[in-house]
Amino acid sequence: MPCLVTVGGFFGDEGKGKIIAYLAKKDNPSIAVRGGVGPNAGHTFAHEGKEYKVRMLPSAGLNPATRLLIGAGVLVNPQILLKEIAMFQADDRTYVDAQCGIIEQAHIDRDKGEHLNGKIGTTGTGTGPANADRALRTLRMARDVPELSLYVEDVSNSVNYALENNEKVLVEGTQGTYLSLFHGGYPFVTSKDVTASGICSDIGIGPKKVDDVLVVYKAYVTRVGGGPLQNEISEEEAKKRGWLEFGSVTGRQRRAAPFDFDLAKKANRINSATQIAVTKLDVMFPACARVRQYEKLPADARRYIEDIEGELGVKATLIGTGPELDDVIDRR
C-alpha cells in the first residue's frame, strides 16, 4: 500500500472477500473501492461467528473508519445496494460514482433467457444485458436515480485525492481473470474485463498510481456455470476431498479441479502480480485449520505453498486457514 489492487486469479470464488475484509481490519485503509461487473459477484467473509455476503459494497464494511466506494465501471442494483448499506449502517460513508450504470428488471428478465442463463450459465442478475445497453448508450446512470442521490459523487476524484495525500486505498476486484471478457474462455465469460487493468479503469486510476497487485488463488480451483475446466473432478471426488461448494449468488454447485499452475502463471503475467494470496489451505490440509503462523503449518502444507511460490515466482504473502476473518497467516 498505499494503493493495493486485489483480483482473482482463476474463475472467481477464490476468497477475495475474506482477504479484503482482513486487510480492511489489519491495515485500516481510508478507502475501499469496488470495481468489476456488479451484483453477479458475491463476496463472503465471517467475523465472530457471523457470516456476511456482499454483492455491491466492498468487503471492508466491518471497519467503520473505511469509506466504501463503488467505481464508475460497476453496475448497480439499487435494491441490493441499499440493503447492504443498512446491514453495515454505512449511510454516512458509502459513495457511488454518478456514472455507475443501473440494472433494471428488464435486464434481469433478459439475463434469464436460454442463451445467457441456459447455455453460458450466467447468474441471471442482469449484468450482461445492462452492459450491452451501456455499450448502446441507452443505460440509466446512478445520477438519474432519486433513491441514490445521497450517495452519488465522483469516485475517481475521491480515490485520486486520497492517493495524492498518501492515504491507504484498497481496490477490490470481482470475478476472476479467466472470466474476463477478453482473457477468459469466450463465450463462457462475464460481460467485461476484470483483470487488474480493467479494475483500475473501473474506478478511474492510472497504472502509475498502483503500488501492489495481489492476485488471490484458492488452494484448488472451482468454477460456476459453463466453460472448460482442466482436470475437473467428479462430484463424488469433490465431496470426498471437501471441495464441494456452492455459489454465493446463485447457490449453484461449483465444479472443482486441482490447482492449475499454467493458469496461475498466465494470470500473474496478465495482472502484473507483485504478491499472491492462497485461501482455503485448511480444506487441503485440515491440520492447518486456524493456524496463524507459517512456522506452525504442517510440513506438507508448507511444501504445497513453497511449490506454488516456486512455480509462480511470487511470494504468498497471505494464506487463508479458516472461515473467520482473522484465520490468516500474514507474511508481508
- CATH of residue 98's domain is 3.40.440.10
Q: Measuring CA to CA, how many Å separate 231 from each of 34, 160, 234, 285?
A: 32, 43, 10, 20
| Whether 43 is catalytic | yes
Residue 295 has pLDDT above 70, yes or no: yes
**Per-residue model confidence as pLDDT tens digits over 151-168:** 999 999 999 999 999 999
Identity at 289, one-letter amino acid code: A
**b/e map of 7-20 (b: 16 or more CB within 10 Å)?**
bbbbbbbbbbbbbb
DSSP type of residue 90: -
* Rounded average pLDDT over 287-307: 98
Q: How far apart are the first and last CA of the chain?
A: 11
In percent, the amount of the chain with pLDDT more than 70 equals 100
Q: Which residues pair with 53 in a beta bridge?
A: 44
Picking from 118, 120, 142, 121, the residue whose alpha carbon sits closest to that of residue 130 is 142
Q: Which domain holds residue 321?
A: 3-330
Alpha-carbon distance of 206 to 194, in angstroms, equals 16
> How many domains is the chain partitioned into structurally?
1
317 neighbors 331 (Cβ within 8 angstroms) = yes
* Rounded average pLDDT over 87-96: 97
Mean pLDDT computed over every residue of the chain: 95
* Rounded average pLDDT over 218-246: 93
Residue 129 has pLDDT above 80, yes or no: yes
Residue 250 has pLDDT above 80, yes or no: no
Catalytic residue among 43, 133, 193, 202: 43
- Residue 321 pLDDT: 98
How do strand 50-54 and strand 43-47 relate by DSSP bridges? antiparallel
Catalytic residue among 13, 260, 282, 327: 13
- Residue 119 pLDDT: 74
Residue 248 has pLDDT above 80, yes or no: no
- Residue 124 pLDDT: 86
| Whether 326 is catalytic | no
Residue 259 has pLDDT above 90, yes or no: yes
- Residue 294 pLDDT: 98
Please report which confidence band the pLDDT of residue 1 belongs to, taking 50, 70 and 90 as the band edges.
low
Residue 10 has pLDDT above 80, yes or no: yes
Q: Which residues pair with 276 in a beta bridge?
A: 215, 316
Identity at 331, one-letter amino acid code: R
* Rounded average pLDDT over 231-251: 89
